[in-house]
Amino acid sequence: MPASRSLNFRTLDLNLLRVFDEVMSERNLTRAARNLSLTQPAVSNALRRLREALGDELVRRAGQGVEPTPRALALWPSVREALRQLQVSLSPNVFVPAEAGNAFVLAMADATAAEIIPGLVEIIEAEAPGVSLRVVPLTTRDPRRLLDEEQADLAIGYFPAVLADLTAREQDESAVAFGHERLYDGQYVCVMRREHPLAGEALTLDGFCAARHMLVSYSGRPYGFIDEA
């Protein structure tokens, strides 16, 4: 084969690099042709053209397959990475969990985090080990501004007014910038000390409303969903 020479990239058929990558991966022309939905003569012809362009034999016959030359071994990692980057660029909406390195910010209350985060972390460690999570407190009943300003990627909570507005917009076929999905159903419970006067009897609405309550409010509001109901 002729010695290595400068490559005229403008005249190079990039499809030859796909053939080269597949041949290097399989080390067998027949399997490479099958994976690419080509005939073996077509793969052989592509290799010939790439050999001429690069000035290197690239692969030699060895037993039932082929053996790469030192130049081919040196080229392959860069060619494979370039093809991968090209595929990602042409498919920007494709999310591959195993290859992702994103950092996501999730806004939610502490009770929601206790319910969701342990299982979510387990899944991420198994399927997307490069992904990282940061959980921030949710102190609003309308997280749309939080999401608009990119302070969070996802808000998890109970947003009845927001859901009603989004549903109305969807029915009117108005533009909706936020997706939403029901994750799980929860129940409210009333917690009291064992010696509380209401502890030994069925809890009624009048009894509940007449009792004194403690409210934990991260937003600072002096009332909650129960008060509004």
Does residue 138 share a domain with residue 158?
yes
Is residue 64 domain-resident? yes
Domains of the chain: total:
2
Among the candidates 136, 171, 206, a domain finishes at: 171
Cα–Cα distance, 36 to 28 (Å, whole number): 12
Reply yes or no on whether the pLDDT at 2 is more than 50: no
By C-alpha distance, which of 77, 75, 85 is closest to 51?
75
| Last residue in a domain, options 58, 90, 122 | 90
Q: 55 and 109 share a domain?
A: no
CA distance 90 to 88: 5
110 is in which domain, residue-wise? 98-171
Three-state DSSP state, 206: helix
Calculate mean pLDDT across residues 90-116: 87
Q: List pLDDT tens digits, range 125-181.
A: 999 999 999 999 998 889 999 998 889 999 999 898 898 888 888 777 666 678 888
53, with CB counted inside 10 A (0-12, 13-18, 19+), is middle
Query: Distance between alpha carbon 98 and the CA centroid of its chain, in Å?
Result: 9
Is 178 contained in some domain? Answer: no
CATH number of the domain that 135 lies in? 3.40.190.10
Which pLDDT does position 173 carry in this prediction? Answer: 64
Same domain for 112 and 58: no
Residue 85 in any domain: the answer is yes
Two structure tokens written together for 223: 């009332």
CA-CA distances (angstroms) from residue 79 to 7, 82, 86, 104?
Answer: 14, 5, 11, 31
Helix axes 40-54, 15-26, angle to 10 degrees: 110
Query: Do 13 and 84 belong to one domain?
Result: yes
Q: Is the pTM of this model over 0.75?
A: no
